[in-house]
Structure 1
Amino acid sequence: MNKSQSLEIVSKDGINQQQENLDYPLLDSAGRHIGQIDVVTINDGRIIVEGWALSRLVGLTSADHKLERAPHMHRSDVLEHLGETGFDTPGFRLEMPMTPNHIVFWLDLGGVRYAYPMPKRII
C-alpha cells in the first residue's frame, strides 16, 4: 500500500518473463487513492496486471484486445488499510495477449471511467 513507485525487474530464463513491481497508485480526479497496480508480468507473449481497485469493473484495452471483469479477489491488506469501502473483493488479476500497441488499464467508479496508460518501460 505504498504510494511511491518502486521498480524491480525479474527475468526468468533470461527471456521469457519480465516482472515489474510497480506500486502504481490509481487516483481519481480529486486525487483520492482508488486502487493500485501492484505487479505487471510479461510472460510468453501475455501481459498480466495485478492489483486492487474500488470499482465494480476493471479492464485492459489495446488496439487489438479488450478485457474487462469485476474485481474478484480478496485483499485483506487493502480492507485492513481502508476499512469499510463497500468492496469486499477489490483484488484483480487481468491477463491478455501482449501487443506492441499502447495498453491502457481502466476502472469504472461512480459513472466515470478512469484510464491509466501502462508505463512505456513495460510495453
Structure 2
Amino acid sequence: MNSVRRSLASIVLGFETIVVFLAALVLWGLTPPEGGPFGLPAWAALVTGGVILVGLVAAIGGLRAGWGYGVGWAIQALIILAGLVNPAMYFVGALFGGMWWYCMVTGARIDRQRAAYAAGKEQE
C-alpha cells in the first residue's frame, strides 16, 4: 500500500523545486552589479538556489527511506530564512511551509485510517 503522506510530500517538494529554481533566477537577475543584500554578489543567489534544489531533490529521494521528511522540514525553515535576502521569500516559505505541515498531518491521518480499515477488513 502506497503512503498518502509520502505522495503528498513528494508533490509539495516537487512544486517547491520549480518555485525555488525560478526564485533563484529572479534574485540573480535583480541583483545590482555592486552587490545585493549583505553585500552578496549576484552569483550567490544561483549557488544558494542550487544548494536548496539539491536538498529538495535529495529529500524527494529520501522519502522512501524516511529521512526525507526531516530534510523537508529543514528546507522549509531554510526557505523562510531566505526572506532575509529577499522579503518575498518569507511569503514563499510560509506558503510552502504551511502546505508541507498540512500534508504531513493530513497524510499521516489518512494513512492511519487506511491501516485501521485494512486491519478491520482482515478480521472479517
Normalised TM-score (structure 2): 0.27
Whichever structure has more helix as a proportion of its residues is 2
Whichever structure has more strand as a proportion of its residues is 1
Larger Rg: 2
Return the structure number with greater relative CO, CA threshold 8 A, min gap 6.
2
